[in-house]
Each structure stands twice: as C-alpha cells, then as structure tokens.
Amino acid sequence: MDTIELGRTGEQVSKLALGAMQMGNATDEQSSFRILDRYFEAGGSFVDTADCYEWWATPGSRGGESEELLGRWMRAGNRRNDVFLATKGSALPHYSPDLWAADGTANWELARRTFAGAGADTLRHALDGSLRRLGTDHVDLYYVHVDDRNTPLEETLEALAGLVTAGKVRHLGWSNVRTWRLEAIRQLCDRYGWPAPVAVQQQHTYLRPRAGLDHASIVGTEQWDYLASHRDLTLVSYSPILKGVYDDPAKRTGHWAMEPYAGEDSERRLAVLTSLADELGVKPNQLVLAWLLHQATPPVLPLIGPRTYGQLEDALPALDIKLDAEQLARLDAAGA
C-alpha cells in the first residue's frame, strides 16, 4: 500500500485508512482482530476510532468499546509502534436513559442536543479516557469530532495546544465542520502560535451533494476549493462508498445514505461509474475508492469501515486499479 503525507507534516500514513467504529459491537473481537491483522498485512497503518463508538448500539453504553478493543489488539501483538492511531472527542452525549427508546434504538435528536462539546476540561478528560482505554500514552491524531459552536474557539484551541505540549497528542484534526470555521481556526492558530489542524475528516464520495443541500459534514464545492488551496490540510473521507450502495441498485433505493445525493446528477454519475466498472471488470464500490485514491488537488485519503472480513477483502483490490487520464475525465465529467 502506498503512503500519503499528512498535511505538510512530513508524516507518511497509508493512503487507505481503516475505521474501527463497529469493532467491539457489530463486529466481534475475533473478527475485528482478523480485519486489523489483514489490513496491516496489506501495508496499512492508519486506524481511526472515537471515544463515542458505539454508545448507540447498546442501551446504557457510554461508548469506548472500539478504543478498548484496539487497546487489546495492540497489546496482544505489541503493535502500538506500527499504528498511526487517530481518535476523537466532543461527540459523546451526556448520559440520559432517554438516549434509547424502548426498542433499544438511539434517540439521535436528543444526542445531538447534548453532545459533550469541545470545552477545555471536557477535551482533557475525554482524551485521558481514550488513552486509558487504548492503553497508550499518546495518540498520533486527535480530532474535534463535532464542531462545537457554543464554546469559544480560543478555549478549544488553547486546550488542544496544551495536549500537544504535554505529549499526549502529536497532530490535530477537525471533523464535521464548515469551511468558514476552518478558516477561523487556522487564523487563530496563526495568531497565537497554537498547532493548527492537519486533517479534516468529512463525508466525501463520488456522488455530489444534491442542489441546495445544507450539510456541515459533507464536502461541497466551496470546501473542495478551500482544501485544494490549503494543502497543509488533508481530507480524510469517511463513508466513501456510502454503506456499499454503489454495488447494488436495489440497496440504493430508499437507503438513508443516498438522501443527500438524490437527483438526476447522481443517476447520471452512477450510470457512467457502472459502465466503466463493467469495462474494467471491477465492482463499482472498488472503482469509487480507486477514483478517490487518484485525486490530487486536493488529495483524498479514504477511510473505510468494513463490518466484516469479507468487506475488507472486497475493498483492497481498489488499491491496484490504475485509471488513465481518459477514464478519470469520463468519471469527472459525468452528471447533469
């Protein structure tokens, strides 16, 4: 697996990241260890988790299951030095029994109103909890998981700078954030000499957001242009294959992951994508990952989150798909 520079840090990470969100819940420990072992065998190095994963899966959970599992895996194989380890804070909701309905499903409306946020004390305690669960004294990349507009940026950024100074964090990132906020963050860091984010984790895929969509978590044309002009920020693309819907037209119909992309533009892009995948003898999901891996301005680092070993094996061939200029142009030009 090739590597990509993280921002302008000189840090080289694998150009395909592995998301561990479902590990310890939907993906049991044995299967999770197998996925992790295979990813590293393929040359991977970049593993992503968060302190809130996956509180919503089990009534009464306070998250941390993914971090705990990763800690056990790293200890079992003495793997900590092999891993570029990313985790996140700020998105764990305050505990309430009302976070789950009687049938066990999560109350996301309440959760979004009660996220822990990015206050200084909150982040310090959240990181200490993450380090304890992961069984390490530092993480390589620490994200503000959900941009907190109720806390002054100065407070958040000064606290993050303190975590870097203390050696608990090497690099910083932001997720689910609007472009104007990224610029404000960068300017404050420059003014006060605080470490600036080097990674931005947003939802990004081959389909384009539908016209009029207002979504802080999905890369639109303005944010794409901003990232192309600020190469010290690396785009880490989560949900790059939208829960695998590219391979299955029936699955796409009515799937919630398709809602932000619904429309004629997506239908035309899907038609071109499917046609080229057939020509190349690959799956559409694989072609989407390959297209993302070929992006250069700005470069994109796809973050895959396989629930099963088979899903990981299905994604890895994307690393070997080479697209020429004509094929990239066909994919890029597709749409309404």
Q: For residue range 113-148, list pLDDT tens digits in order.
A: 999 999 999 999 999 999 999 999 999 999 999 999
pLDDT tens sequence across 272-289: 999 999 999 999 999 999
Q: Which two tokens stand for residue 256?
A: 């919630």
Strands (E) in the chain, as ranges, are: 3-5, 12-14, 17-19, 46-48, 84-89, 139-144, 169-175, 199-203, 234-238, 300-304
**Cα distances (angstroms) measured from residue 295 to each of 48, 165, 224, 325, 326:** 21, 34, 11, 12, 14
pLDDT tens sequence across 38-83: 999 999 999 999 999 999 999 999 999 999 999 999 999 999 999 9
Query: How large a percentage of the chain has pLDDT more than 90?
Result: 99
Q: Which domains does the chain have, with CATH numbers?
A: 3-244+292-322 (3.20.20.100)
- Per DSSP, 296 falls in state B
| Beta partners for residue 139, in sequence order | 169
3-state secondary structure string across 138-207: CEEEEEECCCCCCCCHHHHHHHHHHHHHCCCEEEEEEECCCHHHHHHHHHHHHHHCCCCCCEEEEECCCC
Quick check: 35 and 322 in contact, CB under 8 A? no
Strands 46-48 vs 300-304: parallel, antiparallel or unpaired: unpaired
pLDDT tens sequence across 74-106: 999 999 999 999 999 999 999 999 999 999 999
d(CA 55, CA 167): 28
Could you tell me which residues come within 8 angstroms of residue 187 by beta carbon, excluding any fewer than 6 positions away? none
Going by pLDDT thresholds of 50, 70 and 90, the confidence category of residue 37 is very high
pLDDT at 72: 98
Region 255-284: mean pLDDT is 97
Going by pLDDT thresholds of 50, 70 and 90, the confidence category of residue 152 is very high
pLDDT at 165: 98
d(CA 47, CA 136): 14
Helix, strand, coil share (%) of the chain residues, nearest 5: 45, 15, 35
pLDDT at 140: 98
Going by pLDDT thresholds of 50, 70 and 90, the confidence category of residue 255 is very high
pTM score over 0.85: yes
Region 231-244: mean pLDDT is 97
Q: How far apart are the first and last CA of the chain?
A: 35
Q: CA triplet 127, 240, 64: central angle to 5 degrees?
A: 25
pLDDT at 220: 96
Q: CA triplet 61, 240, 156: central angle to 5 degrees?
A: 55
d(CA 274, CA 260): 20
pLDDT at 178: 97
Please state the length of the chain: 336
Instruction: Compute the mean pLDDT over every residue in the chain, rounded to the nearest whole number.
Output: 97
Could you tell me which residues come within 8 angstroms of residue 6 by beta carbon, excluding any fewer than 6 positions away? 12, 13, 141, 171, 198, 199, 234
